[in-house]
Amino acid sequence: MSAVITDAGATASVPSPAPRPRLRGFTAEAVFVGRSLKHSLRDGESLLMAIMLPVMLMLMFTWVFGGAIDPSGAYVDYVVPGIILTCAGFGASSTAVYVANDMRTGVIDRFRTMPLRAGAVLTGHVVASMLRNLVATAIVIGVGVLVGFRPTATLLDWIGLGALIALYILAITYLFAAIGLAAGSPEGANGYGFILLFLPYLSSAFVPVESMPDWLQPVAAHQPITPIVETIRALLTDTAANGEAWWAVGWCLLILAIAGAWGAWLFRRKAGRR
């Protein structure tokens, strides 16, 4: 109830407006996924670069460096899995910038006045990024085939490959979303996220771990990217993963759990300050 003064000078009580009901189901998430996809289409340059940079890397590693690394020409079969993860990293890194930009512009304040779950905003960014990355990954694999990549995967291998890539993209995208929340500006989010893009270069994505210096081999062998890329390589070439698949899934789930919890805490903390 709230009090108002009438024309006669008397005080009268009027009922307060009832709170708006919270949106049901995944209506809010669907709206924010659509919003993020529209932003992606408007920001065509970022989407184009997320595809072009991995493609350029593939061409450089196969045509420029490939002959020196493997004169037989088979290096393309080795490097494509690493390019796939690099593509996912480039595509997911834009999520950090989008989230940081939302936090800076104050649009989150308007969203907080609406009857929706707080996590719907992040979910919209993450799902839209997954869709963009899956399309970019398919394009990168297609380009790999054009430059000589010949996968021997079975139907079950392709299904497992798609599931693992989707899980990795989900985990890394949530991590970049959390980085966007933690950063003070879109520029800072872009810089912090760029550091993670170097992880594939310190793994078996482009060269075998055994070819690295002795002191670097334990780092490369026991970081998350190596078991993931080795599992992708085994699925594409229909070879044994030698237990790497369990480590790959475990690392993805661990990153997803940490990033999800960190992002939710940051969102509540930062949105609550506004």
DSSP per-residue codes, 210-234: GGS-TTTHHHHHTSTHHHHHHHHHH
- Chain-centroid distance, C-alpha 144: 22
Q: Tell me, what amino acid is at 60?
A: M
**CA pair distance 84, 172, nearest whole angstrom:** 13
pLDDT at 28 over 70: no
The span from the CA of 102 to the CA of 122, in Å, is 10
pTM equals 0.81
Q: What is the mean pLDDT of residues 4-9?
A: 49
| pLDDT one-digit tens code per residue, 210-232 | 999 999 999 999 999 999 999 99
Phi, psi torsion values for 68, nearest 5 degrees? -75, -35
**Mean pLDDT computed over 236-254:** 87
Q: Residue 256: its pLDDT value, please?
A: 92
Instruction: Report how far Cα 169 is from the mean position of its chain's Cα atoms.
Output: 5
The pLDDT score that the predictor gives to residue 258 is 93
Provide mean pLDDT across the span 137-141: 85
Compute the average pLDDT of residues 148-163.
90
Determine the pLDDT at residue 272.
57
Strand partners, 11: 5
Q: What is the DSSP string of 160-189?
A: HHHHHHHHHHHHHHHHHHHHHHHSSSHHHH
Is the pLDDT at 116 greater than 70? The verdict is no
Of the two residues 149 and 117, the one the predictor is more confident about is 149
Helix, strand or coil for residue 208? Answer: coil
For residue 164, the tally of other CB atoms under 10 A from its CB is 18
Q: What is the mean pLDDT of residues 143-169?
A: 90
* CA distances in angstroms from 157 to 151, 161, 162, 208, 217, listed in the order given: 10, 6, 9, 23, 29
Question: What pLDDT does residue 188 have?
Answer: 79
Long-range contacts of 146-151 (CB under 8 A, 24+ apart): 147/58, 147/59, 147/62, 147/63, 147/76, 148/62, 148/73, 148/76, 149/76, 149/77, 149/80, 150/77, 151/236, 151/237
How confident is the model at residue 23, as a pLDDT? Answer: 47
pLDDT on residue 164: 93
Instruction: Write out pLDDT tens, residues 40-98.
Output: 666 666 667 767 777 788 888 888 887 788 777 788 888 889 888 888 888 788 788 87
Q: Could you tell me if 161 and 140 are in contact, meaning their C-beta atoms sit under 8 angstroms apart? A: no
Helices 44-59 and 119-146: crossing angle in degrees, nearest 10, is 40
Residue 113 reports pLDDT greater than 60: no
* pLDDT value for 25: 47
Torsions phi, psi for 18 (to 5 deg): -70, 145
Least confident of 180-189, 199-208, 239-248: 180-189
**Residue 33 CB: number of other CB atoms within 10 A?**
21
Q: Which of 30-34, 172-176, 178-182 has the lowest mean pLDDT?
A: 30-34
Looking at residue 229, what is its pLDDT?
94
Output the pLDDT for position 19: 47
Q: Determine the pLDDT at residue 98.
A: 79
Q: How confident is the model at residue 137 (pLDDT cuts 50, 70, 90)?
A: confident
Whether 15 shows a pLDDT value over 60: the answer reads no
CB neighbourhood size of 253 (10 A)? 13
Task: Find the largest Cα–Cα distance for the chain.
Answer: 96
Residue spans per domain, the chain: 44-273
